[in-house]
Chains A and B, each alone.
Chain A
């Protein structure tokens, strides 16, 4: 029997039949995959055919917390959204901060499995161990911030909410799932899956506690980890001061800041969209998630000009980059406004920004005929950026509908998919692999398409300098280590940002004292490796193989034109075989039976 951490209950909601059931958590699965991303992936692997159309009734969505969610463990507010992603066709796990995950635990559940398809729009209200589906017809069409407010008005003023915006309803492939209207589980188009099910969102409220297995030892671990985070210069102060946008100047400073659809990797006007400028120009205050001593969130407003009075959360570093440098835009107010609009429509800022950038290059090259575009879609225009985001969010006209499908399908339509800066059709984030070699390997091999937070090698390759960003040697091992660590971490509910101060052994201690499972650092990393391999198996069954572990041709062939990494290209082949080898996979990237047996994934 599980002694703590988990509530031991999973809520299964069948939208086709309207039936809601509480099921017991599978203890064996919890030991092998923990919760969150790991357990959610196990459900997907066992219950969903990997070849299923992601937007069909047969796909499922798992809203999952981990065993540290709802406890006093620091920064334990993450909520995972696990499904088959429609943007990529891969297994997908997107996650968000805030307070929703702990509230779900306090209402008595570790996760919610959403399956089938409702005839008409519905939302789910979960309150103190009970749940009911309610009509959402009058919320359908509302923006995420409006839906957040209405859901609380209809349920409880202190309910926590999860919702999709109009983009998810219209099944845009860049649609995200929002929490409280301004926290986003952004990537892989997860919002479209809920839209395809006529599912608007969840409101949740509860007052149950979360028991832990060894209370005294757990609290010792909590105090220790809190102290480390509070004393660390980043997590204890720097993050609250500048937020994640602090990275603008350093990533541009090393010449790895993709600019104008990655035609270059150095943005001369980066200072205008930096964390420092955002603080001076737009910041009202910082904001933290549940039990978080870091508090990196931004609450901002636009104080002057044509967007004066608009306010909201963010932008984060990735959003400032995608909507800023990637589109050549240095007008910070336009970037902040575009970020607010993405949140309202419920769209991933990385994919949305990079898709607009792809559109700008297609337009400037003459591949998008002028009659298709209601506006001159030119690099550097803040106005074009904001209008393009509106077209995308509302799916207005031919171009709006195409933009809403992401950059790959946009480029493909106009005959130039190579201008999509994506892997497995998902747009890559704010680090140019030509200037940071290991992150390219991470993009190529990430189980949910191009992504930085599957394995954040930027920390050793740029921020600490523990590894040389321009060398290829040893990057296979480095990427594997970070991918495995993050897979395990994402299964606990703890935020990735704690790892700037904490080590895997600290998280393992929190996990073992909360659950009573014997988890040391070695077991923690093995859990991570097991999850990574299970995700890989799902993708292989979905039809992915070595050929898909690739990067855009521009990154492999076109040298960076200016800045500190001028002349660099990415030579992925120098790392990929080595990566497969350290993973114990064959030359085609298939996990060997020996490896699967060692991980307990094959009897």
Chain B
């Protein structure tokens, strides 16, 4: 299956923009956010190296829903999913 990864703001430079990644069926978010599929500096930017969890300040959406409400790193991925990654945000 193919999952699209989009990074925004300063993470865009780290990720190199929008990328499409081919994964095996049944993959979860943790599989995707690993050095197997992403450049190591991209993984470092969003995953806490000690805890292995997503950094609290990083916002990740799967098809517009915050992955916190979809199981976090255990969120299941499906063909055509769009994963959006944002650095700390503010404004208004």
Q: Which residues of A contact B (CB under 8 A)?
A: 232-235, 237-239, 241-247, 249-250, 253-255, 275-276, 296, 316-318, 452-453, 456, 458-459, 462-465, 468-469, 496-497, 500, 563-565
B92 within 8 A of A: yes
Chain B residue at minimum C-beta to C-beta distance from A235? B90
User: When the two chains form the complex, which single residue of A233, A250, A276 contacts B12, counting CB atoms closer than 8 Å?
Assistant: A276
Chain A residue at minimum C-beta to C-beta distance from B61? A253
Choose the segment among B20-28, B29-37, B81-89 that binds chain A (4+ C-beta atoms closer than 8 Å).
B81-89
Q: For residue A564, which residues in chain B have a CB less than 8 angstroms away from its CB?
A: 61, 63-65
Known: A238-B87, A564-B63. A465 touches B68 (CB 8 A): yes
| Interface size, B (range) | 20 to 34
A565 near B64: Cβ-Cβ < 8 Å: yes
Q: Which residues of B contact A (CB under 8 A)?
A: 8-10, 12, 57, 59, 61, 63-66, 68-69, 84, 86-92
Q: For residue B90, which residues in chain A have a CB less than 8 angstroms away from its CB?
A: 234-235, 238-239, 244, 246, 459, 463, 497, 500
B88 near A255: Cβ-Cβ < 8 Å: no
Chain A residue at minimum C-beta to C-beta distance from B58? A233
Tell me the complex Cα distance, A253–B61, Å.
8
Dominant secondary structure of chain B at its interface with chain A: loop
User: When the two chains form the complex, which single residue of A234, A276, A453 contacts B8, counting CB atoms closer than 8 Å?
Assistant: A276
Contacts between chains A and B (CB distance < 8 A), count: 91
Tell me the complex Cα distance, A245–B90, Å.
9
Tell me the complex Cα distance, A458–B57, Å.
15
Tell me the complex Cα distance, A247–B87, Å.
11
User: When the two chains form the complex, which single residue of B10, B57, B66, B92 contacts A244, counting CB atoms closer than 8 Å?
Assistant: B92
User: When the two chains form the complex, which single residue of B65, B69, B92 contacts A456, counting CB atoms closer than 8 Å?
Assistant: B92
B84 near A253: Cβ-Cβ < 8 Å: yes
Tell me the complex Cα distance, A156–B10, Å.
41
A247 near B91: Cβ-Cβ < 8 Å: yes
Tell me the complex Cα distance, A98–B29, Å.
44
Q: For residue B87, which residues in chain A have a CB less than 8 angstroms away from its CB?
A: 233-234, 238
Chain A residue at minimum C-beta to C-beta distance from B68? A465
Chain B residue at minimum C-beta to C-beta distance from A232? B88
Tell me the complex Cα distance, A253–B18, Å.
14
Tell me the complex Cα distance, A469–B87, Å.
19
B92 near A250: Cβ-Cβ < 8 Å: no
A563 near B64: Cβ-Cβ < 8 Å: yes
Tell me the complex Cα distance, A46–B8, Å.
49
User: When the two chains form the complex, which single residue of A237, A238, A458 contacts B92, counting CB atoms closer than 8 Å?
Assistant: A458
Known: A233-B88, A235-B90, A243-B91. A276 touches B69 (CB 8 A): no
A250 near B8: Cβ-Cβ < 8 Å: yes
Chain A residue at minimum C-beta to C-beta distance from B60? A465
Chain B: minimal CB distance from A259 (Å): 14
Q: For residue A316, which residues in chain B have a CB less than 8 angstroms away from its CB?
A: 91
Q: For residue B91, which residues in chain A have a CB less than 8 angstroms away from its CB?
A: 239, 243-247, 296, 316-317, 497
Q: For residue B68, which residues in chain A have a CB less than 8 angstroms away from its CB?
A: 465
Chain A residue at minimum C-beta to C-beta distance from B62? A564
